[in-house]
Structure 1
Amino acid sequence: MRSASSTTPTVLLFDIDGTLILTGGAGRRAMTAAFADVHRNGEACSHFSFAGMTDRAIVREGLRVIHAANGGGTPDEAGIDAVLEAYLKRLADEVARAGSYRVLPGVEVLLQSLRGEPGLAIGLGTGNVRRGAMTKLARGSLDVHFAFGGFGCDAEDRAELLRAGAHRGAAALGVRIEECRVVIIGDTPKDVAAALAIDAVCIGVGTGGFAPEELVKLGAKTAFATLAENGAREALLASP
């Protein structure tokens, strides 16, 4: 992936939770309900943070907790799929009624300003499975901005799902991935680590619980308190 210049095709991949929106805990409530529905255990995910985790990784960890409590065993893919399906059935209602759902500062203005920018592909890089991602974004009318992405249904490993999104962005631009500058926008150390793992630039945002300076120390090229901050758009585009 190439370094930035004014003529370099650019793929932007935005994280969702804590970067574009806050869902007021809708995802966690839906996941808790899904485990209760499938395994009669609503506590399986209560003792670890979801921050930066993919949906499949969250379910896998919850199933490990259940197996450990029941004497052992290994989560299998069919078992993960069953919980994810229950989660998606619950998610739409939880998002719809989340009282503290909000689009984060600067997001709408930034996305509108990027529309139609030549040589730019705007996508998602998220641990949410695609259906869940669009459910979360639709309430804030942000889903219309994203025609592609890398999702938790592409890979359980965050770096690999970002790689998938980057390749889709390059295809949308009609170029090879090696010709592109790829930029990951996220709010957690896992976003930073995954970006570095695929040789992408990471732009951090401090709206998800981690301070901008912490994200920079971990390897983000720069970080902003919010995407409304002066210079955020220029950093994404590598403008002077």
Structure 2
Amino acid sequence: MRPTVLLFDIDGTLVTTGGAGRRSMEAAFEKLHGRRDACDSFAMSGMTDRAIVRQAMRIIGVEDTTEAIDAVIHAYVTHLAEEVHKVDDARYRVFPGMREAVKEARSLPGFAVGLGTGNVREGARVKLERVRIYDQFDFGGFGCDNEDRTELIRCGARAGAARLGAPLEECRVVVIGDTPKDVHAARGIGAECIGVGTGTFAAQALLDAGATVAFQDFSHPEALTALLGKR
């Protein structure tokens, strides 16, 4: 079997945070720019954190300099570290089958299990430590690596290949995500994409966007088989 790099998205794929991320972003904009509604007019699903901040700044008429974006991101992560602990376990949870899939992949030789997420690295840590799963991911491509999702996925794929000691072009790369943006990013680097209907989009919508396969969630009996390349 080819060396395999797995890149898991976070929000809507691995976990639901019960809205903690959105509320933290709203709080950051309210603190720095007096506008809690900065993100109300667009869908954040599948966007990188920095792209969300940039678009919101343009909407409210704030210059989107690197320094200004950094300030919002810092405030966001600070709020997030508190907000995740305000959400009860019924609303903040890992989606069905995900813990088991990650554990199984990590147990196999020739697999590198990482993250491919629009979250900045510190935000990813905060969100996943809340459900005690962050330490299951050894590397990743993050929203702080690149604002463009395709490029951050490429960063994650390279990091995974390096861990396996294999050239990237010899690796099987699989992105696991819940939005068409995940699908397009995967396809943009020639990777497979396993779609999950646990976020905003149904499994069929992800297939229509070009996912290799898609399932309602990872409790489906064929999901793990697809992940491990045994189809």
1:42 corresponds, among 36, 57, 64, to 36
- Segment drifting more, 224-233 vs 159-168: 224-233
Is 2:70 aligned against 1:81? yes
Other-structure match for 1:152? 143
Percent of residue pairs identical: 55
Cross-structure match for 1:70: none
What letter corresponds to residue 84 of structure 2 in structure 1?
A: V
Deviations 1:7-26 (A, max 9, x none): 20000000000000000000
- Tell me the equivalent position of 1:23: 17
d(CA) in 2 for partners of 1:103, 1:116? 19
What is the CA–CA distance in structure 2 between the aligned matches of 1:219 and 1:101, rounded to whole Å?
29
**In the alignment, does 2:152 pair up with 1:165?**
no
1:116 to partner: Cα distance = 2.1
Q: Which of residues 165, 182, 193 in structure 1 aligns to 2:173?
A: 182
Structure 1 position 194, deviation (Å): 0.6
Q: Select which of 75, 84, 89 maps to 1:95.
A: 84
User: Normalization by structure 2: what TM-score?
Assistant: 0.97
Partner of 1:124: helix, strand, or coil?
A: strand
Q: Which runs of 4+ in 1 moved over 3 A?
A: none
Structure 1 position 98, deviation (Å):
1.3
Partner deviation per Cα, 1:179-199 (whole Å, 9 max, x = no partner): 101000000010001111111
How far apart are 1:74 and its partner, in Å? 3.9
SS in structure 2 opposite 1:11?
A: strand
> Does the alignment pair 1:208 with 2:199?
yes
The farther-off stretch of 91-100 and 125-134 is 91-100
CA distance in 2, matches of 1:172, 1:115: 13
Question: Once the 2 structures are TM-superposed, how far is the Cα of residue 234 of structure 1 from its aligned partner?
Answer: 1.1
Gaps of 5+ in 2: none
CA RMSD, aligned part only?
A: 0.9
Distance 1:126 1:230 in 2: 25
Verify: 1:56 aligned to 2:11, yes or no: no
